[in-house]
Structure 1
Amino acid sequence: MRVLVPLAALALVTACSSEPTTTAQTAHYGEQVSYPETKQGTQVDTYFGTQVADPYRWLEDDTSQETAAWVQAQNKVTFDFLEQIPFRADIREKLAQAWNFERVGAPFVEGEYTYFYKNDGLQNQFVVYRQKDGGEPEVFLDPNTFSDDGTTSLATLSFSRDGSLAAYATSTGGSDWRTVYVMDVETKALIGEPLVDVKFSGISWYKNEGFYYSSYDRPDGSYLSEMTDQHKLYYHKLETPQSEDQVVFGLAEGEKHRYVGAGVSDDDKYLFVSAANTTSGNKLFIKDLTVSDSSFVAIVDNEDSSTTPVTNQGSTLLLATNLDAPNRRLIQVDAAAPQPENWKDVIAETEQVLNVSYGAGYLFARYMKDAISQVKQYSYAGELVRDIELPGVGTVSGFSGKKDADTLYFSFTNYINASSIYAFDPDAGESSLYFKSGAQFNADDFVSEQVFYTSKDGTQVPMIISYKKGLERDGSNPTILYGYGGFNVSLTPSFSVVNAVWMELGGVYAVPNIRGGGEYGRAWHEAGTQQNKQNVFDDFIAAGEYLIAEGYTSSDKLALRGGSNGGLLVGAVMTQRPDLARVALPAVGVLDMLRYHTFTAGAGWAFDYGTSEQSEDMFKYLLNYSPVHNVKEGVAYPATMITTADHDDRVVPAHSFKFAAELQAKDAGVHPQLIRIDVNAGHGAGMPTSMLIDRAADILSFSLYNMGYNQLTTE
């Protein structure tokens, strides 16, 4: 087994050897890195009378040759640095070996076939297989054939009511813009012309006649960064051109929303439409599809809460909501009068956050208790059938399927147990192992423990810390502290090959459930939004201080990691507390808090962040923590590797470009300030396995090298 040897320990080993001793010495440090010249412009913006310079505004232009040349130059510097790390190739090899095991998704039935996703190990994309009547599985759809390099992925797959047709969406280079194809499942022949320029959309079939989808008008400027502000719902009738697709919602007065989604009830009786302007809260409408030219009726006519349809029994609707229930409840109401004053609880709110699924004639209430899964089975009338015994302490997903299904499936995972699939008999309440993960990782050799620590204002925050048994708490252990803290997203325990390799090498992996997430419901989320956002950063800082105080690690052995909103988290913490950690790894981050809302659908994030145009107080609050605006001259920052991608049209790479330019211009320390920019990739979804392995190898290698390690050895 390969293990990491710190420089000090290595010196003792090599001193006893006849081979010459070597050390990395100053090769670790930023003074050895010659950064590309990044010109500074004269752009100055005025907010409420305050002038703010934006010298790197030109890097926002993702269509310019000048930006492309800057990206190429930055990547050369970064990869030249990474190539000098002596154990980088070994870590990539170890990751590839660890990744190389069969992964299978839960089966699902559509028409006459049972379908499932499978990856043999190192395939760039999962393949969709099918089988009939227990026969031999055959390939139904292989996304690995969509492009030579695996960068075109399968984003959505949806079947018509009788399973005879399938609509699937593809993403090119990781973009959120999709192309939708329709296929005859028996012949695998494509039907009609593909639909183009589809974004932030599901595919919801109506009978076997057509489907609903959502999109924006194609931008006049940059396809990847131009603001997309008005989402519309369309209906596509089969074998008609996309130009004839009808706008169902989003054109009438008062219907302009940034996010519009739709779903048709299983019985094809109702169309539900969710409409929102931010990522939190939605309006909900219903349309009776059995009545010609029926109008939409508002179930909830404001965005102060979140309500989603679960299922229906005839005209009785079951809806999950946080209206008057911050931890969510399930209600029922008649479609003829669906407004909140007529709601009745089916599953009442509890102290734990509720998510509801259905299948086989039952409801399944999936709760989180301190980010750990619990599941209860209910009848449609809300009668408790049983508490479901789970395989262990961790995260379960699934417990959903068709109403007439005989068997349901769920997956179970945590930080040290790779995801396995279980079959569940809903009548007997019994579970059996359906597919055991083939990951070559022995959970018995590792520990995953939950602790609670105290944040700056006294709030108790849970954190799960995972590591190899026998770890000594002497402050010497390389540690990754990972966080998110926003958008009601809950970080529940899940297995990662990258984290498994990190722990096998002797590393600690720690995940705090900081405010801004959804682990404790709406109140926990809102405690980390807008002018409460500093709570998120304080929680993360306190997590790092706890790990150091308890001897898990030290500042010199600590790396901060997070992506997207978590990239903002890392950027804010490293600029507020540059002494906290040796390494910072902000990925695809929201880093310019004064302008984030001017790109793509960024304005929809205002519930969490507020905007610089909202008020003078909000502008000043954002300016106070915006990472791009808080890089200071004369400060020594952690060794930083920013990661982004040229096709990220969710959090545009300009955020990362500007942050890198600021760090390289102002950092006064000896640690490298680098940016790694994937080409032909996006925000993360659909990235091919080969690119995932390359990026992970670079992140782990960069972290360990800058923590003072320079060799892998074999014990």
Structure 2
Amino acid sequence: MAQTKDSTAPASAAANPDDPYIWLEEVRSDRAMDWVNAHNAETVKRLEADPRYQVNYDEALALAGAKDRIPMPSFLNGEIYNFWQDEEHLRGIWRKTSLADYRTADPSWTTVLDIDALGKAEGKSWVFKGADCLEPEERLCLISLSDGGEDATVTREFDLQTGRFVDGGFDLPRAKSAVTWEDQDHLLVATDWGGDDLTTSGYPYIVKRLARGQAMADAVEVYRGEKDDVGVFPGMVQDGSGNRLPTVVRAIDFFHSTTSVLTEDGAKALAIPEKANIAGMVDGHVIVSLDEDWTVNGKTFAAGSVVDLALADVKADPANLAPHLVWAPGPRDALEGVSTTQDRLLIATLENVRGRLWSYAPSRDGGWKAMQLDLPDNLSLGFGSTDEKSDEAFLVASGFTTPTTLYLSNAATGEIEEVKSLPAKFDAEGLVVEQLEATSSDGTKIPYFVVHRKDIPLDGNTPTLLNAYGGFQVSQTPYYSSNIGKLWLERGGAFALANIRGGGEFGPAWHEAGLGTKRQIIYDDFAAVGEDLIARKITSPKHLGIFGGSNGGLLMGVEMIQRPDLWNAVAIQVPLLDMIRISKIAAGASWQGEYGNVNTDPEAMAFWQKTSPYQNLERGADYPEPFIFTTTKDDRTGPQHARKFAARMEEYGLPFYYYENTEGGHGSGADIKQSARTNALTYTYFMEKLMGPPAGGTGEGAK
């Protein structure tokens, strides 16, 4: 069943014969929103008619607002802070308690900032986007607030001691700003300064020093990038010994950048590779993670390694550096993250997509002494908040069927205490997790995880959802999902997660294998996993559905068009789909380092002309009927991609579902009710397509 045809001829059709839906790129125009509202109404009518929708919504909302969730902690101002949302606090409260009280089963919380109340008082749809508090006191904080969930924020100064926004304090207007404290009376700010001060990607490229009480127009420039950069981003690297290093990162593209240190004599370039980042500082050791080989002084440090630089050398002569190795990956290893405490460097790694956590202590001879933290195997492991006033760190462990557990560790001694564990949110009895491999088109083995009931018959009839991301060096590791468990696995479905190229599961080379015009291998990897699930008779095309968001939404669009024979359901979420006009939509120009630049590179243009989902839809093709989801407030990928793709499907008489949340930013919703609705619609769609009509009736979408 196709959506209702828009009978109004596009005013821009004559001027854009190859793209008659340019008008849908006008995000808030009356005409575009009329189109959105009409298609939303049709999708809601169809899916809410299925009796499973209300059950799914009620369960998703209960999971999102459950009181027994782990309140994820942050060390701040000598206490533990947490941001919390539930049915009474849809937009959330920022609250605090003591560490001792947090350790108890039922902590006593004090509300610091109520976002719902603030939004009501100011007539805004505020969404909390975080806080940056001035070290070392951590009393004055820069609070970022978004209207409806978009990436652009306002930034206001807040005093934790008084519990109020500071009268006459720092107050930056709405923009995609990057702001950091220089000291109590000065900020380093990259923002839209009111002129032509944004890059083609929509981010600032001029950094200025803003003094307390100073008008924005009077701020003093300290660094200027280029108009064609992605953007420039000031930062302050600090350690538990009180050392500080102000920096500016100039992002040339999404993966290449230059780093400068700010000195009394101005900004000076730091001679690290363009694919390297300052990851932290410990006891005067500046920690750098490498995404490319670095040869210096006749020695080569491999891509994926962690090295350190002496802070004194960085300040004295940033153009001539002498790095020392801290950690180097093995053939199946990858760096997942770097954190610091007062005296320790913390490194999270993957070993064949299984988590490992390490604590490193600097030694007097200039080396590092490593200690692996003793945690369960075969789980995803990561560092939560760390304390730069002690060596305490929170650790997080979870798996597909293992509820998330929070530990408190002393990174110096290795002592670990279990603090909180999420109660089981779904019945995992009888479920098994397997790590399998598929063979891609070039013979490369692609690992993937699959969760299913131990006793499923291998007859191809198990409804199965397959997910992947495949880009930006983002790793996909096992995780505990209450929604997948409750709304899918409990109902007899299976779930698979693919570690395709483009991700970071095996280091920078795994990512670079699919960059730019090499990207078809990513799509081949994903199809190979689908074929493998079918060959093993875990499922079949009739019962196999796929989903992904953002870059994963692009993946879904490509797979729907290239391999419609493999899937019966495709959820395309907050996607990129028009890869020819990507640089002209939202922040799309910033990702040309990942996808190639169709405006300047004929090879990139040729590749995307034959691969871009929007341009490659065909009349009369036998595609699965997709569920296309986006949000009006998404100023990252933008709703334009999803709208135009759906409009072209409609023109071609191809069936689809379309739903656009009018808030939410680059996600499922601005509050838990919006997110619950998105989840309910999505899982109802999958149930209709892969499990069949509800008992005692025919779902509207199954007709």
Pair in the same fold by TM > 0.5: yes
C-alpha separation between the residues in 2 aligned to 1:158 and 1:589?
30
CA distance in 2, matches of 1:67, 1:219: 29
Which residue in 2 is equivalent to 1:295? Answer: 266
One-letter identity of the residue aligned with 1:330 = V
Paired residue for 1:25? none
CA distance 1:550–1:125, change in 2 (3 Å): farther
* Matching residue of 1:353: 334
1:183 lines up with 2:158 in the alignment: yes
Alignment of 1:192-231 (within 5 A): 192=168, 194-199=171-176, 201=178, 203-217=179-193, 228=202, 230-231=204-205
| TM-score using structure 2 length | 0.88
CA deviation string 1:143-182 (max 9, x = no partner): 2334359952111212122122121101111111101111
Trace 1:53-92 onto structure 2 (pairs within 5 A).
53-92=18-57
Question: What's the offset of the Cα at 1:208?
Answer: 2.6
Distance across 2 between alignment mates of 1:231 and 1:44: 37
Deviation at 1:618, TM superposition (A): 1.8
CA contact (8 A) 2:357 2:382 kept: no
Partner SS, residue 556 of structure 1: helix
Greater mean alpha carbon deviation, residues 305-314 or residues 424-433 = 305-314
Q: Percent identity?
A: 26
In the alignment, what sits opposite 2:93?
A: 127
313, 318, 327: which one aligns with 2:304: 327
**Worse-superposed segment, 380-389 or 536-545:** 380-389
Aligned counterpart in structure 2 of residue 703 of structure 1, from 679, 686, 692: 686
Q: Distance in 1 between matches of 2:200 and 2:639?
A: 13
Q: Which one of 237, 248, 252 corresponds to residue 265 of structure 1? A: 237
Task: Indicate how the Cα distance of structure 1 residues 320 and 707 shifts in structure 2: closer, same or farther if over 3 A, else same.
Answer: closer
- 1:39 matches 2:5: no
Specify the code of the residue in structure 1 equivalent to 2:190: S
Q: Partners of 2:118 and 2:272 in 1: how far apart?
A: 42
* Native 8 Å contact 1:370 1:519 kept in 2: yes
User: Structure 1 residues 511 and 388, CA, compared in 2 at 3 Å: closer, same or farther?
Assistant: same
Asked if the contact 2:427/2:490 (under 8 Å) is kept, the reply is: no
Aligned pair in 2 of structure 1 residues 396, 44: CA closer, same or farther (>3 Å)? farther
Aligned to 1:275: 250
CA-based RMSD of the aligned residues comes to 2.8
Aligned mate of 2:132, from 147, 158, 162: 158
Q: CA deviation at 1:218?
A: 6.0
Q: Deviations over 1:116-146 (max 9, x none)?
A: 3344577434432223585743111222334
Q: Which runs of 5+ in 1 are unaligned?
A: 1-29, 47-51
What are the superposed Cα offsets for residues 439-469 of structure 1, whole Å, 9 maximum, x if unpaired? 4334454222211111111111111111234
Looking at structure 2, the residues matched to 297 and 380 of structure 1 have their Cα atoms a distance apart, in angstroms, of 27
Please list, as runs of the form range in 1=range in 2, the aligned pairs for 1:288-687 lying within 5 A after superposition. Answer: 288=263, 293-300=264-271, 303=274, 305-314=275-284, 316-324=285-293, 325-333=302-310, 334-335=313-314, 336-339=316-319, 342-351=322-331, 352-354=333-335, 355-381=337-363, 382-398=367-383, 401-501=386-486, 502-667=488-653, 672-684=655-667, 687=670
For 1:653 and 1:217, locate their aligned partners in 2 and report how far apart those are by CA, in whole Å: 26
Contact 2:474 2:503 (8 Å CA) reproduced: yes
Shift of 1:686: 6.7
Distance apart, 1:374 and its partner CA: 0.8
In structure 2, runs of 5+ residues without a counterpart are: 102-107, 294-301, 697-703
- Whether the aligned pair in 1 keeps the contact of 2:124 and 2:147 (CA below 8 Å) is no
The alpha-carbon deviation at position 667 of structure 1 amounts to: 4.4
| Contact kept? 1:399, 1:409, Cα under 8 Å | yes
Q: What SS class does the counterpart of residue 447 from structure 2 fall into?
A: strand
Deviations 1:668-711 (A, max 9, x none): 5xxx3121010122211872111111000000101111235222
TM-score (norm 1): 0.87
Q: Distance in 1 between matches of 2:340 and 2:623?
A: 50
Judge conservation of contact 1:258–1:601 (CA < 8 Å) in 2: no
- Alpha-carbon spacing, 1:138–1:485, altered in 2? closer, same or farther (3 Å): same
Shift of 1:521: 1.4
Aligned partners of 1:570, 1:686: CA distance in 2, in Å? 20
* Alpha carbons of structure 1 residues 536 and 544: separation in structure 2 relative to 1, 3 Å: same
Q: Distance in 1 between matches of 2:538 and 2:224?
A: 53
CA contact (8 A) 1:96 1:122 kept: no
Tell me if the contact between 2:547 and 2:556 (Cα under 8 Å) persists in the aligned partners.
yes
- Please say if residues 473 and 551 of structure 1, whose CA atoms lie closer than 8 Å, have aligned partners that are also in contact: yes
Equivalence for 1:27: none
Equivalent in 677, 684, 687 of residue 694 of structure 1 = 677
CA contact (8 A) 1:487 1:516 kept: yes
Pick which of 522-531 and 335-344 moved more.
335-344
Kindly indicate whether the alpha-carbon contact (under 8 Å) linking 2:200 and 2:229 is maintained by their aligned counterparts in 1: no
Q: Compared with structure 1, are the counterparts of its residues 470 and 209 closer, same or farther at alpha carbon in structure 2 (3 Å cutoff)?
A: farther
Deviation of 1:313 after TM superposition, in Å, equals: 3.1
1:363/1:540 CA distance change after superposition, 3 Å:
same
Give yes or no for contact 2:236–2:246 (8 Å, CA) kept in 1.
yes
Aligned pair in 2 of structure 1 residues 74, 255: CA closer, same or farther (>3 Å)?
A: closer
SS at match of 1:117: strand
AA paired with 2:468? Answer: G
Q: CA deviation at 1:348?
A: 3.5
Q: Distance in 2 between matches of 1:175 and 1:94?
A: 27
For the Cα contact (< 8 Å) 1:645–1:678, is it kept in 2? yes
Query: How far does the alpha carbon of each residue in 1:614-633 deviate from its partner, in whole angstroms, 9 at most, with x for none?
Result: 23222111110100011101
Residue equivalent to 2:700: none
CA contact (8 A) 2:261 2:269 kept: yes
Q: Which moved more, 1:180-189 or 1:684-693?
A: 684-693
> Does the C-alpha gap of structure 1 residues 147 and 463 become closer, same or farther in structure 2, counting only changes over 3 Å?
same
Q: Distance in 1 between matches of 2:383 and 2:320?
A: 29
Paired residue secondary structure (2:519): helix
Equivalent position amino acid for 2:188 in 1 = Y
Q: 2:359·2:412 contact (CA, 8 Å) conserved in 1?
A: no
1:249 maps onto 2:223 in alignment: yes
Question: Match for 1:329: what amino acid?
Answer: V
CA-to-partner distance for each residue in 1:504-560, whole Å, 9 max, x for gaps?
111111110111111111111111111111011111111111111111211111111
Q: Is structure 2 residue 68 aligned with structure 1 residue 102?
A: yes
Tell me the number of residue pairs that the alignment of Structure 1 and Structure 2 aligns: 664
The residue type paired with residue 278 of structure 2 is T
Name the CA shift for 1:340/1:640 in 2 (closer, same or farther; >3 Å).
farther
Inter-CA distance 596–522: structure 2 relative to 1 (3 Å threshold): same
Quick check: 608-617 or 242-251, which moved more?
Answer: 242-251
- Where 2:503 maps in the other structure, the secondary structure is coil
d(CA) in 1 for partners of 2:115, 2:98: 21
More displaced stretch, 414-423 vs 261-270: 261-270
* Cα distance change, pair 523–125 in 1 and its aligned pair in 2 (3 A): same
Which moved further from structure 2: 440-449 or 482-491?
440-449
